Amino acid sequence: MLLVDLGNSRLKWSMHHGPRVVRGVLTLVSGNWDALRLHEDWSNALSELGCRAQPLESALCSSADEERTNKCMELLVGFCQRPPERLRTMGLWELREGFNHVVLRNDYTSPQQLGDDRWVLAMGLAATPSVWPEKSSWRISLVSAGTATVIDYVEGTQSELREGFSSLSFRGGFILPGFAQMRGALLTSTSEVAPRWQAEAGLASQPGLSTAEGVERGLAMAQLGPLTMMGRPDAILVTGGGASEFLAAYRSLLEPQWRLAAQYLPTLMDAGLRAGLESLKASTS
């Protein structure tokens, strides 16, 4: 099984064979990637996993434009034995595993307008009950930190009448430029700030006493603004290539007040892709 997450700045993939998995990342240059290198990486992963044949199936989640998405689909068609499945946003998704039944609803006014990547991350959350709060009803802040910072909210209820049944609702969220985008816009658009900026300025909730401190503390507070305005959730889950910087800001500024540790879940997209592919297979069998 080959799972691919195509974003704006990186292409992330994972190849699964039984319990074993090999992962890889390609940084996009001007929005594109080296197809020959990617094919070579996938072939090397097959060898590392001890597979004698190409993967049977694959799934793709893309937040890129249609041209790059179609290019990636063509690569998957050429590498895997079966046509790839592109996971798209839905109004409702169900997951059944043994006695467990999870329903995920999309509360967007127009569900199809929700980005596929945000929906698949919510699917990953629905497929990973081990990270749900241990209570019958909960609200989770789901943070994807990358080129953009996306802070979504998912609410869940576990039925007391139907054992194993859980109802989850994607309640929408907030989208803002990521740390690098915010910082880059500021430093390239202001003649006085850039010469005085330095990366090692410390984070704190107090006003900065230097330009560098003012920049970094301002960025951190802007990134955490949606969390602050919405109030303390029952859990905070963070994923994405910019997760380390977001987590550093949260741990310095909000965690001491809320006494709530944020969890880093780098494979949440994988969980969503895998669950989505498995549910598609089950629906056609």
**Interval 151-159 mean pLDDT:** 93
> Matching CATH topology for 2-86 and 127-163+172-269?
yes
| 171 has a pLDDT exceeding 90 | yes
Whole-number percent of the chain with pLDDT over 90: 67
CATH of domain 2-86: 3.30.420.40
The per-residue pLDDT for range 13-68, each reduced to its tens digit, is 999 998 999 999 998 887 788 888 999 999 999 999 988 888 889 999 998 889 89
Does residue 161 carry a pLDDT above 70?
Answer: no
Delimit the domains of the chain by residue range. 2-86, 127-163+172-269
The whole model's pTM is what?
0.91
Judge contact between 163 and 98, C-beta under 8 A.
Answer: no
User: What number does CATH give the domain 127-163+172-269?
Assistant: 3.30.420.40
CA angle 67, 275, 281 (to 5 degrees): 85
Residue 283, pLDDT above cutoff 70: yes
Residue 280: predicted pLDDT: 86
Query: For 1-10, 105-114, 181-190, 237-246, which range has the lowest pLDDT when averaged over its residues?
Result: 181-190
